[in-house]
Every structure is written in C-alpha cells, then in structure tokens.
Amino acid sequence: MADESVAGSADFPVKRPREEEENGSAAAASAVSMEPDGGKEPDSVSAVIPGWFSEISSMWPGEAHSLKIEKILFQGKSDYQNVMVFQSATYGKVLVLDGVIQLTERDECAYQEMITHLPLCSIPNPKKVLVIGGGDGGVLREVARYSSVEKIDICEIDKMVIDVSKQFFPEVAIGYEDPRVTLHVGDGVAFLKAVPAGTYDAVIVDSSDPIGPAKELFEKPFFQTVANALRPGGVVCTQAESIWLHMHIIEDIVANCREIFKGSVNYAWTTVPTYPSGVIGFMLCSTEGTAVDFKHPVNSIDESKRPLRFYNSEIHTAAFCLPSFAKKVIDAKAK
C-alpha cells in the first residue's frame, strides 16, 4: 500500500527521557550515520526515536507502527512517489513508498500469496492473468506457480519500484524472470480501457491506498472497466483495506462491486504484521457466467520450486470468516 503523504515527526514533539538528553548528540550521530551517501533523512525516519522508521498517516490517525533501522539502503524520488529501502532489525529489508510500508522480507508472503491464490485457486485452469500494480514482482512470482497459465501481463506505473525491487528484493522480483510475463510500464486504468472485452480469466489489483493517484482504483468506473476485461465467470481480487481502520471505505467498495459484478462478491482478509492494524483485506468478485465459490479452492499449487510460506487450503477458507462487526456491515450491502 502507498499513501499521499506522511506527517513529519516534528509534528509530534516529545520530551526526551533524561538518558537521551545526556546522550543526545550520540543519538543524533547514530541517525545521521544511517543515511546513504550522506543524504538527507526521509521524513519517515523518526526524530522522536532516532534510528527508527515510523509509519504515520492520515489514513490511520492517532497511531503509528515503528521498526528499528539498521541501515538505509536506498532513497530516491520517482516521477510519482518517494522510494526508500532500509534494513530493519527484525523484518529484514523493507520497501517504503511515500512513507508507507509496501513489503518486508519477513511477512511479504502473507500478502503476496493470499492476494494471488485466493482468486486463482477458486477457478479451474486460469490461462490469462493481469496484474495491476504489484511492481515488486511478488504477485508475479505466485501467479507463475500455475502451469495452466499461458500469459501474465503486469501494468505498473512506476519503473523505479520495479528496478529497486529487482536490486534489493530478488526473491520477490524473481517473478519477472518467468517467460510468460509481459511488463507494461504505464497507467493501469488506461491499460485496462484498451483491453478487448473478455480478455482475462483473472485480474489482480495490487493497489496502494485510495489517496492521490490510486483513488481511481477504488471507484465504480474502475470496477466496471475490470469487469469488461474479464471473461464470463472471470475473477478479480483487489486490495481492500483494513476492517479495523477503513470500514467506511470497505462499505463503499462492496456496494459498488455488488452493482457491477453479477457473479459472486466476497470480502476476505489476512494478517500482515507490518501493515497498519496488522490486517489487510481483499475484495473478490466474479462476472456472470460459470459460478465461482471463492470459499472453497479447486486448484492445487505447485510447490516444487518454492514452498508456500503462508497460504494453504484451510487458511483460504478461513479468510472469508469475518468478525461480527465487519460481517454485519458487509452483509447489509447484499440486501
């Protein structure tokens, strides 16, 4: 996920503990020493606790998740966003876009495997798959497990994300090496509009948060464009925010999808420790045609080259079991 902006830590003044006051200059020196090539620290590097990354955003006001930084490996600004990679003390390397964590080496499997296998295990023999976003290559890596797949298109707007992922996250970006993959660098909405109707068996939308350029990916016209690109009985899985933070957004997504997708419409979720609130959700929908039962997988997954770290058939079914407060809101939109 990505966000439009991150509030600077200077907005949250905190009195230093006595031992930090006494060692203030040493702490400041430690923070500076992590900067690559002597560059300026990004706003997301905490000034309150030197040497830590803090994810602060208007999308989750009043809270922040922090990771201890061992070394900042990359800082850059693309045409679309700020990009940073750092080595954390507990989650391996971390990719950050506009101050918001996209993945860590330790828990990326909980997101990449679920957003891919929830839809692709729900239909027999998927052949043509489109990934919107997902520039790190993790979804491609998981789609490539399916021998039935003949063509994998990916449309990612930010080439810097692709290049940085290949450099620092080769075990994730390995998906780009599959010969079935065709990369399109550009706007995903425009790409979809140019796609002939009924082209894909599945579309996976690995989007950022609905702020700034990604806002369009959460609106009704986009879902209609996705539906047009799918064959009858085709499926879409899109990142759909956190039940703990964004039920108002989820409510709108469900309402829009129920109007557009005449097959099945479901919400599922997974745990990702380094995402805000520790959970993230997925909207899974199918077009009118062959019925799709998202809750009961029909495909097996090839683990011969790379074992799964998170997904299994039991967790697939469990992902659709919602807590009562979320189930009440989502089920209400079915009426």
Clarify whether residues 94 and 119 are in a common domain. Answer: no
Q: Tell me the pLDDT tens digit for each residue of 78-117.
A: 999 999 999 999 999 999 999 999 999 999 999 999 999 9
Q: Tell me the pLDDT tens digit for each residue of 183-235.
A: 999 999 999 999 999 999 999 999 766 555 556 666 788 899 999 999 999 99
Q: Tell me the pLDDT tens digit for each residue of 56-85.
A: 888 888 888 999 999 999 999 999 999 999
Opening angle at CA 237, ends 234 and 241, nearest 5:
155
- Active site (catalytic) residues: 206
Q: Which residue has the higher pLDDT, 254 or 32?
A: 254
Nearby residues of 303 by Cβ (< 8 Å), 6 or more positions away? 145
CA separation for the pair 42, 55 (Å, rounded): 12
Q: Tell me the pLDDT tens digit for each residue of 144-175.
A: 999 999 999 999 999 999 999 999 999 999 99
Clarify whether residues 61 and 209 are in a common domain. Answer: no
Position 229: which residue type? A
Question: How many structural domains does the chain have?
Answer: 2
- pLDDT exceeds cutoff 50 at 19: no
Q: Which residue has the higher pLDDT, 86 or 34?
A: 86
| Number of Cβ within a 10 Å radius of residue 28 | 13
Task: Tell me which H or E stretch contains 189.
Answer: helix 188-193
Token output for 14: 């905190």
In a domain, 30, yes or no: no
In a domain, 21, yes or no: no
Please give the distance of CA 248 from its chain centroid, rounded to a whole number.
19
Predicted pLDDT of residue 10: 32
- pLDDT exceeds cutoff 70 at 4: no
CA separation for the pair 41, 53 (Å, rounded): 11
Nearby residues of 284 by Cβ (< 8 Å), 6 or more positions away? 118, 119, 122, 235, 236, 237, 264, 265, 266, 267, 268, 294
Task: Tell me which H or E stretch contains 148.
Answer: none
Confidence of residue 53 (pLDDT cuts 50, 70, 90): very high
Say how many Å lie between the first and final Cα of the chain, rounded. 30
Residue 5: Cβ-neighbour burial (10 angstroms; 0-12, 13-18, 19+): middle
Predicted pLDDT of residue 208: 65
The CATH number of residue 90's host domain is 2.30.140.10
Say if residues 320 and 144 touch (Cβ distance below 8 Å). Answer: no
Token output for 153: 């298109």
Clarify whether residues 257 and 181 are in a common domain. Answer: yes
Clarify whether residues 87 and 145 are in a common domain. Answer: no
Clarify whether residues 99 and 112 are in a common domain. Answer: no
Q: Which of 104, 124, 148 is the last residue of a domain?
A: 104
Beta strands per DSSP E along 141-244: 151-156, 181-185, 200-206, 230-239
Q: Tell me the pLDDT tens digit for each residue of 265-290.
A: 999 999 999 999 999 999 999 999 98
Predicted pLDDT of residue 20: 35
Q: Tell me the pLDDT tens digit for each residue of 120-151.
A: 999 999 999 999 999 999 999 999 999 999 99
Phi, psi of 138 (to 5 degrees): -65, -40
Clarify whether residues 200 and 325 are in a common domain. Answer: yes
State the chain's maximal CA–CA distance in angstroms.
Answer: 69
List the one residue out of 186, 111, 123 whose CA is nearest residue 149.
Answer: 123
Clarify whether residues 286 and 231 are in a common domain. Answer: yes
Clarify whether residues 129 and 173 are in a common domain. Answer: yes
Instruction: Quote the domain boundaries for residue 200.
Output: 107-331
In a domain, 183, yes or no: yes
Token output for 166: 């290949």
Clarify whether residues 230 and 261 are in a common domain. Answer: yes
Mean of pLDDT over the chain: 86
Per-residue burial over 209-234, b if 16 or more Cβ lie within 10 Å, else e, is: bbbebbeebbeeebbebbbbbbbebb
pTM, two decimals, is: 0.85
Residue 241: Cβ-neighbour burial (10 angstroms; 0-12, 13-18, 19+): buried
Predicted pLDDT of residue 332: 85
CA separation for the pair 183, 168 (Å, rounded): 19
Beta bridge partners of 22: none
Clarify whether residues 167 and 289 are in a common domain. Answer: yes
- pLDDT exceeds cutoff 80 at 16: no
Predicted pLDDT of residue 282: 97
In a domain, 3, yes or no: no
Clarify whether residues 219 and 277 are in a common domain. Answer: yes
Report the range of poorest mean pLDDT among 211-215, 229-233, 243-247, 331-335. 211-215
List the one residue out of 167, 244, 219 whose CA is nearest residue 205.
Answer: 219
